[in-house]
Structure 1
């Protein structure tokens, strides 16, 4: 919304405003570009000028969309999916990401999958087997070992901690 507002103030017409991407109908002058850059910085956003930074953001957005917002599990491996979505060779994407971010795409995915698994455990609507299926793990054991590597806890221990954090109102004050 902040991006749309700034574009309107500069009387720029846009066709698409999505996470990390804007498609403007007209060519913009260097002055307009600078004004937009300053206005976005004031809103805590950044106008990216170079293609590598834009590609890194696209990689992140595809991963976040896939891990956090996809309803059906994606049954294609991440490298093929990223290559397909971004129309680049995975090796190029992987090397660029590692060079710029200081971490691998795989580690970025694992971090996001772990956070998503935490959410799903906390929501309590799915059991660990269902979570493993939803998150496209080959087995509960694979999910559990990866989760433990990242968090230091097994999923069941994490669930117990979540359950212990909160007491039902009727139990507060009882011995």
Structure 2
């Protein structure tokens, strides 16, 4: 909605505005692209003008959506899921992602899962068993090992740290 609003202010009429993509009915000239970039940059958006960068951003958005909105409900393995959704050979995506991001897709995926685990631990609505199940970890031990590898803390220690930093509302 923010991007659409800014484009309206510039009197530009895109065909569609979706997460990570804006489609125009015609090719835009360099001056218009520069104006759009200048307008969007202060509000935290940037133009991605080459296909490689676009593919990487689509891959990241797909993984983030999978973890944070769809609760990691994969019906196949991650490589097949990404390849199917983006209609690109997984090896092509994998090499490009590693080259540009200096990390692997798998490590990015795991880091997103751990961020979701942190969120769920802070909310304190689910126990570790339920979190492990929801995010498709093979076991609580596997979740704990991955969590410690990424954060340096066990899930229970992380939870204690967060609890110590919170002040109950009646003591504010």
Q: TM-score, normalised by structure 1?
A: 0.88
Equivalent residues, number? 171
What is residue 59 of structure 2 aligned with on the other side? 59
SS in 2 for 1:14: coil
Choose 1 or 2 for highest CA Rg.
1
- Is residue 92 of structure 1 aligned with residue 118 of structure 2? no
- Is residue 164 of structure 1 aligned with residue 147 of structure 2? no
- Is residue 102 of structure 1 aligned with residue 106 of structure 2? no
CA RMSD across the alignment: 1.9
Report the Cα distance in structure 2 between the residues aligned to 1:72 and 1:58, rounded to whole angstroms. 17
Single out whichever of 44-53 and 117-126 deviates more from structure 2.
Answer: 44-53
Cα pair distance change 1:75/1:35, threshold 3 Å? same
Unaligned runs of 5+ in 1: none
Unaligned runs of 5+ in 2: none
Single out whichever of 69-78 and 107-116 deviates more from structure 2.
Answer: 69-78
Could you list the per-position Cα deviations for residues 66-98 of structure 1 after superposition, in whole angstroms to 9, with x for gaps in the alignment?
111114722322111111111111111110000
What is residue 144 of structure 1 aligned with on the other side? 144
SS in 1 for 2:15: strand
Does the CA contact (< 8 Å) of 1:79 and 1:90 recur in 2? yes
Does the CA contact (< 8 Å) of 2:72 and 2:136 recur in 1? no
What is residue 73 of structure 2 aligned with on the other side? 73
